[in-house]
Amino acid sequence: MATQYQNLSDNNPENVPHAGAFRFAIIVSEWNPTITEKLKESAYSTLLKYGAKKDNIKVVYVPGSFELIYAARRIIESVKPNAVIALGCVIKGDTPHFDYVCSGITQGFAQLNAEGDIPCIFGLLTTDNQQQAIDRSGGKYGNKGDEYAITAIKMAHLANTFK
């Protein structure tokens, strides 16, 4: 979690497995693109940094964050990646829409992970305002895209140990 005491982009590279043997899918919401593009760029470059091959990283765009669930399921079935990273950003507004969207996406990804064999990384920023999203997508708290990519690598490695 990003706080004033911990920068999300700080990690020990020695604790991250080599990603060269894995295939990844990154699904990016087109909603709040100034945020989601920065998350995608960070996740993509972090995968490369740890050895993933460009040809083994599939990037797909969906209209909004709720559509991440559907896309994740279809990508798992067709592309067969070792891990999926879903990136979105929902910023709280004046209506309960924020609560419904965030709750639905959370439940959808919990179900994908509970029932599936492919780890789905929940890369949804849920913030109270635009500044909090900026702070977590390359701002003062680093970029959560790094964290999501490292989580995907670690989970792909973990899943591979059970085969």
Sign of CA dihedral 128, 129, 133, 139: negative
Q: How many CB atoms lie within 10 A of CB 91?
A: 17
Q: How many CB atoms lie within 10 A of CB 161?
A: 7
Provide, rounded to the nearest whole percent, the portion of the chain with pLDDT above 70.
94
Q: Report the mean per-residue pLDDT for the chain.
A: 93
CATH 3.40.50.960 for the 21-161 domain, yes or no: yes
8 A C-beta contact, residue 146 and residue 43: yes
Tallying the residues shown for the chain, one arrives at 163
| pLDDT tens-place string over residues 138-150 | 999 999 999 999 9
Distance CA 19, CA 49 (A): 9
Active site residue 157: no
pLDDT of residue 3: 56
pTM for the whole thing? 0.93
Q: Strand locations in the chain, DSSP E? A: 24-29, 57-62, 83-91, 120-127, 137-139, 142-143
Residue 9 pLDDT more than 70? Answer: no
Q: pLDDT category, 6, cuts 50, 70, 90?
A: low
Residue 7 pLDDT more than 90? Answer: no
Catalytic residue among 34, 97, 117, 140: 97
Would you list the domain boundaries of the chain? 21-161
pLDDT of residue 160: 94
